[in-house]
Amino acid sequence: MDGFDQLSASEKAEASELQRMIAIEQQKAQFQAQVHTFTDVCWDKCVDSPGSKLDYRTETCLQSCVERFIDTTLTITNRFTQMVQKGAH
């Protein structure tokens, strides 16, 4: 018997809410980690020498790099979702 069974209804609701909030914070942290990753990757790929402004080539490169990174991440995420759904059936 685990401790969750011994909680009152309001304590169970609080525990569930806490779990939901933790999951949201974990999602935020994952998103921030992804932003940090593609910032690093795209900066290294596109920026030769930082200046006070981005030139057109650098700006275009950064935009394309981020778009490719997002597209790739979405494709991989969708593929994993499909695999999980097939495994659940």
pLDDT, position 2: 59
Q: Residue 45: which CATH number?
A: 1.10.287.810
Q: How far apart are CA 54 and CA 57, in angstroms?
A: 8
Q: What is the pTM of this model?
A: 0.60
In which domain, by residue range, is 52 found? 9-88
Q: How far apart are CA 11 and CA 21, in angstroms?
A: 15
pLDDT, position 59: 94
| Residue 40 placed within a domain | yes
Count of domains observed in the chain: 1
pLDDT, position 55: 92
Residue 85 above 60 pLDDT?
A: yes
The whole-chain average pLDDT of the chain stands at 88
pLDDT tens column, 32-80: 998 898 899 999 999 988 888 989 999 999 999 999 988 998 899 899 8
